[in-house]
């Protein structure tokens, strides 16, 4: 069985792999919660590395950097 590993300082747990078309897939990851002792810290501006091994019809990769990372995070909107 093949494996997909996504890392950026920590390794994420894969929660779902969805086929978009014949050559595009969307990999959904479980959110990692980080904290600085005073509350949660947003995870943004990261470009994780991806390892693919043993997947039928897919070339193995090692430390392939993602083209796109996490979008900016909005924590709170206050109307005045």
Closest Cα partner for 50 from 2, 41, 75, 78? Answer: 2
Span 21-58, pLDDT tens digits:
888 878 877 766 666 676 666 666 677 888 888 877 88
**Whole-number pLDDT of residue 41:** 66
For the entire predicted model, the pTM comes to 0.57
Percent helix, strand, coil in the chain (nearest 5)? 0, 40, 60
Show me where the domains of the chain are located: 3-65
Residue 3, beta-bridge partner list: 53
Q: Could you give the maximum distance between any two Cα atoms of the chain, in Å?
A: 55
């Amino acid at each position: 069985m093949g494996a997909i590993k996504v890392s950026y300082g920590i390794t994420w747990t894969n929660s779902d792999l969805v086929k978009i078309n014949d050559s595009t897939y969307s990999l959904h990851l479980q959110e990692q919660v980080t904290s600085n002792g005073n509350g949660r810290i947003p995870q943004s501006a990261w470009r994780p590395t991806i390892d693919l091994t043993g997947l039928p019809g897919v070339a193995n990769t090692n430390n392939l950097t993602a083209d796109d990372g996490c979008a900016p995070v909005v924590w709170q909107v206050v109307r005045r």
